[in-house]
Amino acid sequence: MRFTLCAVVLLALFANGLVEADDTTALYSEHCAACHGESRLGGMGPALLPENLGRLKKKAAVDVILSGRAASQMPAFSKHLDHQQAESLVEMIYTPLPQVPEWGLEEISSTHRILADTPTLDGPVFDADPLNLFIVVELGDHHATVLNGDKMEPVHRFKTHFALHGGPKYSSDGRFVFFASRDGWISKFDLWNLKTVAEVRAGINTRNLAVSADDRFVMVANYLPHTLVLLDAKDLSPMRVIDITGENNATSRASAVYTAAPRQSFVVALKDIPEIWEIQYRDDPLPVYNGLMHDYRLGEGLAQETGLFPVRRIGLDDHLDDFFFSQDYSLLFGTSRDTKGGQVVQMDLGRKIADINLDGMPHLGSGITWEYQGRQILATPNLGTGQVSIIDLATYEVIKQIPTLGPGFFMRSHENSPFAWVDVFFGPNRDAVHVINKQTLEVVETLRPAPGKTAAHVEFDRQGKHALLSIWDMEGAVVVYDAQTLKEVKRLPMVKPSGKYNVFNKITRSAGTSH
């Protein structure tokens, strides 16, 4: 459901003497609508509504418009807009819409479509290792490419919904891949049969999705409305809508949802409420009492809430924009965009157990782990400063900051590789990618595959023999490197390939990639 800004909003601005309504509308259409939608309900960028802007004060919003927003794709408009024009846009986006569309179970169900049958197959209909396939998301023209990871050759290219976000997720056997678009469309694609199976619009402005480890459920995290949506993974039919509500009926966007496979649960970080939620999907859910989950082995003789999908609420010191799991999913590491430092949550205990002294806005969603001098460490790029933070997972201490040429966004490695790769996503050196020796914790090589163009998001093949790097440009490419010699092997033309996702690495939850 889409509609243009109503005259009521424009008249409100005009009545307050802020600016001519038509002028503000024109400014919004010219500078904002392409990313945030003509109706302000979101697109590649988030929805611009007062319901979603509670953490951002008006004065700060003016600064964001004029100066840009660190660690995001929000550019600075100071060369195009003066201070008064920025203020007029802020008044517009902080004015409620006369009507925000309802998007509950009935509306979601009305969009559900079955598009293809799912035949019984022993493997792909084409010649390739099904576990060494990649999905390459080509953001530039809203397509995805199925890539043969042995031959490094495209197998199939197909159209996706607008502005995919959050990374596709695979079924446990790697046959099916699930996509979420910023405007709420969820799609299921059969990698073996090369057909889209089903689709449904689960939200108006969506953050990401997760697939249960048993392949039964898909959980969708929304910015708008403030909901989680549970889908049947078989055909994406809607099952349940869960309102994200905290104390005093405060509502929240979802920062992200991930499946914690060993725990048989979904874990959700909330953007506007200082809580994380754990939602079980096992058939015999552990009991919940006053929001705290109790293992049957503890013999708690307390009143219990039973039934499928109980919500366990874990209170925190601060809300989370980003988080990372230890390999066994017993620990959650989280950070907020607005505050420095990190929080460590022990999931079995259901509480925060430590703080991490971090600066630079670490991007824990791209964190990776490996063994270093007999201990497990976490490495994370930083969205605000040019450094990679190395954290001892036993003590939660930062043991080293590795300098980089600018803030990075993605970091990747592989169990069979001696190197970790990190991009320099923001700033004048965005064409650079650093290669770090995992045992010396030093940068050993800086690659510039396309001078002047953003180079980002490395992913390894199944065996860790090759590293694939994206050139984020309309006339972009996927550049294939020998992961040992760091020499370029092949270059595949692509239309702004934002990410590449290897089936094996994802379904085995490789320590070198995001989960």
What's the pLDDT tens digit per position in 119-156?
999 999 999 999 999 999 999 999 999 999 999 999 99
- Measured in whole angstroms, how far is the alpha carbon of residue 440 from the centre of its chain? 30
Residue 37, Ramachandran bin (φ over 0: left; ψ between -120 and 50: alpha; else beta): left
DSSP-based helix, strand, coil % in the chain, nearest 5: 15, 40, 45
Residue 23 included in any domain: yes
CB-CB contact of 343 with 316 (8 Å)? yes
Domain with residue 42: its CATH number is: 1.10.760.10
Give how many domains the chain has, as a whole number. Answer: 1
Measured on CA atoms in the order 393, 398, 402, 403, is the torsion positive or negative? positive
Residue-level pLDDT at 8: 37
Residue 1 included in any domain: no
Q: At 132, give phi and psi (nearest 5°).
A: -115, 30
User: Helix, strand, or coil here: 344?
Assistant: strand
Residue-level pLDDT at 239: 96
Q: At 242, give phi and psi (nearest 5°).
A: -110, 115
Residue 366 included in any domain: no
- pTM for this structure? 0.85
Residue 398 included in any domain: no
CB-CB contact of 430 with 74 (8 Å)? no
247: which DSSP letter? G
Residue range of the domain that includes 69: 7-93
Measure the CA–CA gap between 140 and 473, rounded to whole angstroms.
8
- Measured in whole angstroms, how far is the alpha carbon of residue 343 from the centre of its chain? 19
Structure tokens at 112: 């559900």
Nearest to 6 by CA among 43, 38, 42: 38
Tens-level pLDDT at each residue, the chain (515 residues)? 333 333 333 334 333 444 455 688 888 888 888 888 788 877 667 778 776 676 678 888 888 888 887 656 688 898 888 888 888 888 888 887 777 778 999 999 999 999 999 999 999 999 999 999 999 999 999 999 999 999 999 999 999 998 888 789 999 999 999 999 988 999 999 999 999 999 999 999 899 999 999 999 999 999 999 999 999 999 999 999 999 998 888 999 999 999 999 999 999 999 999 999 999 998 876 665 444 544 433 333 333 344 578 899 999 988 888 889 999 999 999 887 666 678 999 999 999 999 988 876 788 888 999 999 999 999 999 988 999 999 999 999 999 999 999 999 999 999 999 999 999 999 999 999 999 999 999 999 999 999 999 999 999 999 999 999 999 999 999 999 999 999 999 999 999 999 999 999 999 999 998 87
**How many CB atoms are located within 10 Å of the residue 141 CB?**
12
Residue 156 included in any domain: no
Residue type, 78: S
Residue 40 included in any domain: yes
Residues in the chain: 515
Residue 185 included in any domain: no
Residue-level pLDDT at 295: 40
CB-CB contact of 87 with 170 (8 Å)? no
Q: In which residue are the tokens 């079980």 written? A: 280
Residue 113 included in any domain: no
β-bridge mates for residue 283, sequence order: none
Measure the CA–CA gap between 377 and 181, rounded to whole angstroms.
33
